[in-house]
Amino acid sequence: MALPGVVAVIAALISAAVSFVILVGLGPVAPTRQVTLTLIAINSALILLLVVLIGREIHRILMARRRGKAAARLHVRIVALFSLVAAIPAIIVALVASITLDVGLDRWFEIRTKAIVGSSLSIAESYVQENARNLQNTALSMAVDLDRNRVLYGLDRTGFQQLLNQQAVGRGLAHAALVHGDGSIIMRADTRADFPMPDPPPGSVRDAASGDAVLIEPRTRNIVGSVIKLREIDDAYLYTIRLVDPEVIRARQIVRANVDDYRDLETSRATVQLAFALVYLGLTLIIVLSAIWTGIAVADRLVRPIRRLIGAADEVATGNLDVSVPVRNSDGDVASLGDTFNKMLLQLKSQRNELVAAKDQIDERRRFSEAVLASVSAGIIGVNTDGAITIVNRSAETMLGIRAAKSLGEKLQNVLPDVGSVFEIARGSGRSVYRDQVTFFRLGAERTFNIQITVEKGDADEDAPSYVVTVDDITDLVQAQRATAWADVARRIAHEIKNPLTPIQLSAERIRRRYGKVITEDREVFDQCTETIIRQVGDIGRMVDEFSAFARMPKPTMQAMDLREALREASFLVEVSRSDIAFERDFGDEPLLGTFDSRLMSQAFGNLIKNAAEAIESDDTRASDEPGVVRISARRENDTITIDVADNGKGLPRENRQRLLEPYMTTRDKGTGLGLAIVKKIVEDHGGRLELHDAPAEFHGGRGALIRIVLPAAAVGDEAKMDRNEQTTDV
Average pLDDT over residues 709-726: 68
> CB within 8 A of 432, min separation 6: which ones?
454, 455
Q: Residue 455: pLDDT above 50?
A: yes
Q: Residue 546: pLDDT above 70?
A: no
Average pLDDT over residues 29-45: 74
Please give the pLDDT value at position 710.
92
Please give the pLDDT value at position 441.
75
Give CB contacts under 8 A, 24+ apart, made by 242-245: 242/131, 242/134, 242/135, 242/138, 242/172, 242/173, 242/174, 243/174, 244/128, 244/131, 244/218
Higher per-residue confidence, 503 vs 658: 503
Q: What percent of the chain has pLDDT over 90?
A: 2
Average pLDDT over residues 647-652: 86
Please give the pLDDT value at position 493.
67
Do 39 and 50 form a contact (C-beta atoms < 8 A)? no
Question: Using 50, 70 and 90 to split pLDDT, how confident is the model at 269?
Answer: low
3-state SS class at 704: coil
Every domain of the chain and the residues it spans: 3-108+269-312, 127-264, 376-471, 480-551, 559-730
User: Which range is most confident: 56-60, 262-266, 592-596?
Assistant: 592-596
CATH architecture entry for 559-730: 2-Layer Sandwich (3.30)
Question: Using 50, 70 and 90 to split pLDDT, how confident is the model at 632?
Answer: very high
Q: What is the pLDDT of residues 101-149, one digit of tens each?
A: 555 555 544 545 555 555 665 666 666 677 677 777 787 888 888 888 8
Average pLDDT over residues 527-551: 72
Q: What is the pLDDT of residues 347-373, one digit of tens each?
A: 877 887 888 788 888 777 767 666 766
Please give the pLDDT value at position 464.
76
Question: What is the Cα 428 distance to its own chain's centre?
Answer: 57
Higher per-residue confidence, 569 vs 509: 569
Q: What is the pLDDT of residues 371-393, one digit of tens each?
A: 766 667 788 888 888 888 888 88
Least confident interval from 46-50, 72-76, 424-428, 623-627: 72-76
Q: What percent of the chain has pLDDT over 70?
A: 70
Q: Count Cβ atoms below 10 Å from residue 65 Cβ, excluding itself.
A: 15
Average pLDDT over residues 402-409: 84
Question: Using 50, 70 and 90 to split pLDDT, how confident is the model at 631?
Answer: very high
Please give the pLDDT value at position 718.
57
Please give the pLDDT value at position 671.
52
Least confident interval from 92-96, 135-139, 172-176, 471-475: 92-96
On average, the pLDDT of the chain sits at 76
Please give the pLDDT value at position 641.
92
CATH class of segment(s) 376-471: alpha beta
Q: Where are the alpha helices (DSSP H) in 240-332?
A: 246-267, 269-317
With b for 16 or more beta-carbon neighbours within 10 A and e for fewer, the 383-412 pattern comes to: beeebbbebbbbbbbebbebeeeebeeebb
Average pLDDT over residues 275-294: 68
Higher per-residue confidence, 261 vs 204: 204
Higher per-residue confidence, 659 vs 416: 416
User: Which range is most confident: 129-143, 321-335, 548-562?
Assistant: 129-143
| Whether the model pTM is above 0.85 | no
Higher per-residue confidence, 224 vs 101: 224
Do 680 and 663 form a contact (C-beta atoms < 8 A)? no
Please give the pLDDT value at position 331.
65
Q: What is the pLDDT of residues 604-613, one digit of tens each?
A: 888 888 888 8
Q: Residue 717: pLDDT above 60?
A: no
Q: Do domains 127-264 and 376-471 have the same CATH topology?
A: yes
Please give the pLDDT value at position 644.
93
The backbone region for 604, taken as left when phi is positive above 0, alpha when psi lies in -120 to 50, beta otherwise, is alpha
Q: What share of the chain is helix, strand, coil (3-state, %, to 5)?
A: 60, 15, 25
Q: Residue 502: pLDDT above 80?
A: no
With b for 16 or more beta-carbon neighbours within 10 A and e for fewer, the 513-548 pattern comes to: eeeeeeeeeeeeebeeebeebeeebeebbebbebbe
Q: What is the CATH number of domain 127-264?
A: 3.30.450.20
Question: Using 50, 70 and 90 to split pLDDT, how confident is the model at 667?
Answer: low
Q: What is the pLDDT of residues 296-313, one digit of tens each?
A: 777 676 777 777 777 777
Question: What is the Cα 375 distance to its own chain's centre?
Answer: 44
Q: Residue 642: pLDDT above 60?
A: yes
Please give the pLDDT value at position 107.
53
DSSP labels for 523-547? HHHHHHHHHHHHHHHHHHHHHHHHH
Question: Using 50, 70 and 90 to split pLDDT, how confident is the model at 1?
Answer: very low
Q: Residue 682: pLDDT above 50?
A: yes
Average pLDDT over residues 659-684: 67
Q: Residue 581: pLDDT above 80?
A: yes
